[in-house]
A and B are shown apart, each in its own frame.
Chain A
């Protein structure tokens, strides 16, 4: 399909390469982040933390679009989404 007009807010709304960081000590394994991730970048794993809670894990780094829903819904403030520069598409995410 040929687009002859591009949306005015395309640059602003474009997804950014992003990375999800999970604080394993704080997580209580409720599963909210994995359940409500819109792109399926997070899933519950079999890994346990020191307290015996099952942790979520990032299944595919490239899938994260940086919407920040996991960060917002986490009851334990254990998820942080770090977004990179929107101009760099090739998965360049700050450390």
Chain B
């Protein structure tokens, strides 16, 4: 009998709370591939899973904290970033990751997002953008493109949306990237880079919401969304984030936009602390 050596590969179940599967996300949801990429990125980045703290807010993407077998916390709506800030300052050895949706991070937690980026707190933020509030029934959010229909904009949206890479890079983030769920390898590599990057790293993951957003805008099933991403996406690394607006049609600019170095909040804090100690 010939022996066959099995490649020592960790399966996704290593980091999943298997007893909670199947999860509540709809068929074709974009959060699943994003979580898969994050799990593989942990190994790619060579991090110790015991030192990762995962924080989520409210919404579909907020469920990630409950589904992963990491030290995780499910915070109140929009307050994932303040909680993560406190966690990082309380124990700077932790690798703090915030995994949440656009309705949580950018809408109610928008102020926290810009201030976390301004302070340059050493954490990785993964924002799954599905252009609406999916869990509560598809209401209009601050990322819904112009003219998109939602349950609170039945004739089309007239609010200009946020351009997340531009918002975050202007606020001072040191790593900003945007990918869709079809760019699996790039997303995995990008998350691994961001996990090892000191400073505020922000990755926007564009994912389909076929049940609500796709249905209201007649964009079809999840597969049609992914084919649309294949057609519309243009990979432009180091592009100006100001040119990365997303509309109902037209190109979606994806890629790594910003990768710079800046002293983090912890560095500044220590500098001031040392100076104050010398004066005493």
Contact = CB atoms under 8 A, between A and B. Distances in A.
In terms of DSSP, what is the predominant structure of the interface of chain A?
loop
Contacts of B30: 75
B127 interface: no
Contacts, number: 84
Nearest to A90: B2
A35 B223 contact: yes
A24 to B, nearest CB: 11
Contact of A77 (B5, B9, B36): B36
A32 B223 contact: yes
A80 interface: yes
B25 A75 contact: yes
Interface string B165-198: 0000000000000000110110010000000000
Contact of B36 (A35, A53, A72, A85): A72
Interface stretch (B16-24, B79-87, B95-103, B155-163): B16-24
Contact of A93 (B4, B23, B181, B221): B4
B258 interface: no
B229 to A, nearest CB: 12
B12 A77 contact: yes
Interface of A: 16, 25-26, 28-32, 35-36, 53, 69, 71-78, 80, 82-85, 88, 92-94
